[in-house]
Amino acid sequence: MKATNIFLKVILSLLPLTTHTSSHEINVGIRNLVFTDNDDPTITSHRFCAKHGILDADCASIKSEIASVQAEACTATNNLGLHIARPTKGEQIRIPAHTYSFNLMAFFPPATDTTIQANFTTCLVLISTYNAGEEVTTPQRCVTGAIPTVFPFSFDAIGYHLATVEIFSTSSNRKSALTLATASVAFTTVSEADDKKAFFFDAFCDPVLPDQPAPHPMTRRPMAMLGKELMFRSTGTSNPGRNFPGFWLPSAGICPEWFLNMNSPLTSFHDIETKKINMTAGTVGHEERDEDDDDHQARQRMRHNALKVFSMIDKRFGLGKLHYFCTAGKWKDEERCTPALEWNKLTRDLTNRWRNEEMIDVERAIASGSGDTLDHSYMLSRFYSVSNLVTSIRLDPNSWRSNGYWRAARSVLELASEMGMETRPVVRENVRERVLAGICDVNQFIHSDLGFQIQGWESFYKNACGGVDDKVATVEL
């Protein structure tokens, strides 16, 4: 079997027919990726790539290959297989554009007479969300005759789209025609004329070591900046039952694992610079240091150790800790706790609406790995504001679809629009001119170049990273 990507070799093996499913194996380098007909290509490829440190460009090819193999597998049971090769899932189509061509790949059963292959009706239906979460369906467009390899279509508005292509047997009565194959793909249309863009970059938690030309790929964490929101992309592999593969979640950069310990007095770089050190016990307290404390050497050792302990993505833990203690009633500071309490109420309202109106595709959510959250607040515990939510959708609506949350996403777009927020999909721009590795390098880029304020960073950078950088943001946001 010929592979569609030069670095992929596809091996097809069929399970017994009584299972009504097929198991497939894709060889990627020295690794094997096994999947079935029912596995979602986006979720399957994302988890595989996150596990093995495979970069996005190659991962997109793997995702497309999975979908193609699944479509071709339909022919083993005398069905017609259909794969939409272009656009790929998550693709961005620039507008105002010229006519865009959908590329279709039809796979015929081995026993199909070639003379019959001209007797089809191929139709495309487009469901779009342009503003405030409202869906609009474009009238069906059909072609009769041979299944086309190219299906032209024109776009004139920015939005989120789901295109479904169906192939029918030719019939004088269109309504009674038999559906032979169907395939869908989600993508967006964007405008290059928009002032704001989303900046994507790779952050490696570990620094570059002297004998290594590059950091280990498993320490890579894709990150993005849109407006004032800094986000990281979930691997979807670390929390069984509470996973959201491909979701963009709020971040505050790279941090030592101290910050993610609920009992630690250190939840930010500001704490490293300001919390009191018990010189006798060698411990850090919760109170602020005194101006006359002679703790320079001890604090310098703490800064040095912060760069050596296990580093990881800061999931805005300081903010998460504040929300936790405020909503639990353990912290009573009204000024600090008001946003947390308001967000807590909104999450309850959203949860109730999503559940009452059945906005979550439960089957898809369980398959993607978030089944344990269905009886609680879904993924909302991973966010702290509507701005977080709408940014996540704009960065990658396809992850919300793949995880079974698209109707919920539309309700978020509706809410954000009412609040005056921008809700349209946004142009992606890669900022990968150099490798960003380690706490100092990554956070300095985030704080100085992108302009996302990391609490206490300037002082920590000066004292721990051995540098002073006064430059202003060089990326226009």
Higher pLDDT, 4 or 398: 398
Does a structural domain hold residue 477?
A: no
Token pair for 84: 């939409």
Of 192 and 59, which is predicted with more confidence? 59
Return the minimum-mean-pLDDT range out of 217-231, 260-274, 458-472: 458-472
167 domain-assigned: yes
Q: For 214-243, what is the mean pLDDT?
A: 90
pLDDT score for 469: 44
Across the range 178-201, mean pLDDT stands at 90
Q: Same structural domain for residues 281 and 338?
A: yes
CA-based nearest residue to 236, from 402, 375, 431, 376: 402
Tell me what pLDDT residue 112 has: 64
Q: Which of 4-13, 52-61, 467-476 has the highest mean pLDDT?
A: 52-61
**According to DSSP H, which parts of 216-316 are helical?**
269-274, 296-306
Is 90 exceeded by the pLDDT of residue 173?
no
Does residue 380 share a domain with residue 232?
Answer: yes
Does one domain contain both 253 and 360? yes
Q: How far apart are CA 398 and CA 91, in angstroms?
A: 9
Asked if residue 46 and residue 185 are part of one domain, the reply reads no
CA 173 to chain centre: 43
Euclidean distance between CA atoms 23 and 12, whole angstroms: 7
Task: Identify the domain boundary among 56, 77, 98.
Answer: 77
Q: Say which CATH number the domain at 131 has.
A: 2.60.40.10
320 within some domain: yes
Distance CA 203, CA 438 (A): 8
Residue 369 shares a structural domain with residue 403 = yes
Tell me, yes or no, whether 475 lies in a domain. no
pLDDT at 170 over 80: no
**Residue 266 and residue 306 share a domain:** yes
Residue 128 has which token pair? 């779009």
Instruction: Give the domain range for residue 31.
Output: 1-77
pLDDT at residue number 15: 29
Q: Which of 52, 77, 102 is the last residue of a domain?
A: 77
Helix (H) or strand (E) holding 250: strand 248-250
What's the pLDDT tens digit per position in 92-141?
999 886 789 999 999 988 776 555 566 899 999 999 999 888 999 999 99
Both 31 and 83 in a single domain? no
The last residue of one of the domains, among 138, 165, 193, is 193
Instruction: Please compute the mean of the pLDDT values over residues 333-350 and round it to a whole number.
Output: 94
Average pLDDT (51-71) is 90
Domain for residue 472, yes or no? no
pLDDT in tens, 435-470: 899 999 999 999 999 999 999 999 999 999 985 443
Domain count within the chain? 3
> Which one-letter amino acid corresponds to residue 285?
G
Query: What CA–CA distance (Å, rounded) separates 126 from 116?
Result: 28
Per-chain mean pLDDT for the chain: 86
Q: What is the pLDDT of residue 6?
A: 27
3-state secondary structure of 277: strand
CA dist list (Å): 239 to 74, 370, 383: 33, 9, 16
Residue in 376, 378, 373, 417 with CA at minimum distance from that of residue 394: 417
134 Cβ contact list (under 8 Å, min separation 6)? 410, 414
The verdict on 216 and 236 lying in the same domain is: yes
Whether the pLDDT of residue 298 is over 70: the answer is yes
Please tell me the predicted confidence (pLDDT) of residue 115.
Answer: 53
Confidence (pLDDT) at 218: 82
- From the list 170, 166, 178, the residue with the least C-alpha distance to 84 is 166
Residue 471 lies in a domain: no
| Position with higher pLDDT, 272 vs 171 | 272
- pLDDT surpasses 70 at 281: no
Task: Say yes or no: 349 and 267 in one domain.
Answer: yes
Edge-to-edge strand list for the sheet holding 100-107:
81-86, 100-107, 150-153
Across 232-244, average pLDDT = 91
∠ CA(60), CA(87), CA(399), 5° rounding?
55
Residues 63 and 88 in one domain: no
Predicted pLDDT at 99: 85
pLDDT attached to residue 9: 31
Shared domain for 203 and 321, answered yes or no, is: yes
Beta partners for 9? Answer: 27
Q: Burial of 427 by CB count in 10 Å (0-12 exposed, 13-18 middle, 19+ buried)?
A: middle
Asked if residue 391 and residue 249 are part of one domain, the reply reads yes
Query: Does residue 47 belong to any structural domain of this protein?
Result: yes
> Confidence class of residue 176 from pLDDT cuts 50, 70 and 90?
low
pLDDT at 293: 77
The answer to whether position 381 is within a domain reads yes
User: Which segment of 11-15, 308-312, 398-402 scores lowest on mean pLDDT?
Assistant: 11-15
According to the model, what pLDDT value does residue 106 have? 93
